[in-house]
Amino acid sequence: MHFEYSETTRDNIRHLSAFMAEHVYPLEDDYRRWTAEHAWEVYPAMGGLKEKARAAGLWNLFLPEDYGDLSPGLTNLEYAPLAEIMGRVLWASEIFNCSAPDTGNMEVLAKYGTPAQQQEWLFPLLDGGIRSSFLMTEPAVASSDATNIETRIVREGDDYVINGHKWWSTGAMHPDCRLYVVMGKTDPEAPRHRQQSMILVPADAPGVEVVRPLTAFGTYDSPHGHAEIRFTDVRVPAANLLLGEGRGFEIAQGRLGPGRVHHCMRLIGTAQRSLELMVKRVGERTVFGRELAKFSSVRQEVALSRCEIEQARLLTLSAADHIDRLGIKGAKDLVSMIKIVCPRMACGIIDRAIQLHGGLGVSSDLPLADFYVYARSIRLADGPDEVHLYQLGREVIRQL
């Protein structure tokens, strides 16, 4: 399979790579040190980096061309290599206003939001002035099946009243988070996939309680973090409902497709960076009188890593191309494949890189430990591997 990028896309790749080299990589060590000491505070240089990215035309690159004037004009396929470059540094995507969960929430608002909803929430998000969170997962039910969601959204006159318990609400701990996109049930008696709705909730609405920040592998993932949140009689205007009652599952399915491509391409960037660190390490380190690079087992680890990255990259580019040409439904099997393949690939390669670095690999002196936490967590985010394996297996059996 051959993907031919336009000259504009090749220019974007060169431009973004140069920006990363000049402005992002030099700050990696400082960012790690600063965020370790200042939980829930924004890195002081972030604002300036965002302004430089905006001035360089590297802003909101994720919105596909079918969003019209809101989009920079890239297809999902053309954005994919840019997401890979951003994935080489875990916090880089925020600099370009291309970080989750804001990207998915902006796509939802751009596609399904009313003019008033867009004015209040979409445009500030596109401008980078606020952040947002997506609240679906709940501690009491298996939320990989969205039909299990128990949070209730009940109509009372001109308002909806929300009661429920959420957790793993990514981005909710960010000091600039102002909006929650909440998934809940409006009609438990409706057909199974028409019970759920999505509603926009201001983060400071009365009755919203941030119970605690959650740790992933013992880290808070500051400053955006993940939160446990309770809703107790939270009242918002009926106009805050997205698309209509019973349309939540439909919105969720449309939201997840492009977002999974973004995650997978970022994971490929993470894996590629890990491979480069691995190659540098084995060329510099000597054990038992020989360079690590001269051991056959080490060369095999490097070779396998290179193969696995290229396989995952081509599969993900194929998924992005299918979304562009056939839509989410036409690409659903490939989207399932990349969700299965890419996090596992990244976990394996990062683990090899950690092993070849010895103690340095698990320290905060390198990004590898953070890379591993990210890659392993993505095997659960947007649905665990098992869900995608089950669905893909079902489709393959049906088709063949």
Domains of the chain: 7-99 (1.10.540.10), 131-248 (2.40.110.10), 249-399 (1.20.140.10)
Mean pLDDT of the chain: 94
Tokens of 295: 């051991």
**126-130, 250-254, 265-269: the lowest-pLDDT one:** 250-254
Residue 216: which region, alpha, beta or left (left: phi > 0; alpha: psi -120 to 50)?
A: beta
CB 267 within 8 A of CB 343: yes
**Confidence check: pLDDT of 198 > 80:** yes
CA 394 to chain centre: 26
Tokens of 269: 């960037």
pLDDT digit string (tens) for 291-330? Answer: 999 999 999 999 999 999 999 999 999 999 999 999 988 9
Whole-number pLDDT of residue 253: 77
The string of DSSP codes covering 327-362 is HHHHTHHHHHHHHHHHHHHHHHHHHHHHHHHGGGGG
Question: Cα separation of 376 and 346, whole Å?
Answer: 8
- Work out the angle at residue 183's Cα, subtended by the Cα atoms of residues 181 and 189, and round it to the nearest 5 degrees: 150
Q: How many CB atoms lie within 10 A of CB 237?
A: 12
Which among 334, 347, 337, 354 has a CA at the least distance from the CA of 378? 347
Q: Give the rounded percent of residues in the chain with a pLDDT score beyond 90.
A: 87
Whole-number pLDDT of residue 180: 98
Question: Cα separation of 349 and 347, whole Å?
Answer: 6
Q: How many CB atoms lie within 10 A of CB 7?
A: 7
* Contact partners, residue 255, CB within 8 Å, separation at least 6: 104, 107, 108
Residue with tokens 């997962």, as numbered in its chain: 137
3-class secondary-structure state, position 135: strand
Residue 51: which region, alpha, beta or left (left: phi > 0; alpha: psi -120 to 50)?
A: alpha
**Phi, psi for residue 6 in degrees, rounded to 5:** -70, 165
pTM of this structure = 0.94
**Confidence check: pLDDT of 274 > 80:** yes
Q: How many CB atoms lie within 10 A of CB 314?
A: 13
Whole-number pLDDT of residue 1: 54
Please indicate whether residue 1 or residue 97 has the higher confidence score (pLDDT).
97
Please indicate whether residue 8 or residue 94 has the higher confidence score (pLDDT).
94
3-class secondary-structure state, position 375: helix
Q: Give the rounded percent of residues in the chain with a pLDDT score beyond 70.
A: 99
The three-state DSSP-derived secondary structure of 10-64 is: HHHHHHHHHHHHHHHHHHHHHHHHHHHHCCCCCCCCHHHHHHHHHHCCCCCCCCE
- Burial of 357-377, coded b for 16+ CB within 10 Å and e otherwise, reads beeebeeeebbbbbbbbbbbb
pLDDT digit string (tens) for 49-84? Answer: 999 999 999 999 998 888 888 888 899 999 999 999
pLDDT (average), residues 349-376: 97
**Confidence check: pLDDT of 2 > 70:** no
Whole-number pLDDT of residue 227: 97
Which among 361, 322, 355 has a CA at the least distance from the CA of 338? 322
Whole-number pLDDT of residue 3: 65
Euclidean distance between the first and final Cα of the chain, in Å?
Answer: 23
pLDDT digit string (tens) for 102-151? Answer: 999 999 999 999 999 999 999 999 999 999 999 999 999 998 888 899 99
Pure H helices in 41-160: 46-55, 76-86, 92-95, 102-112, 115-117, 123-127
Sign of the Cα torsion 221, 260, 107, 72 reads positive
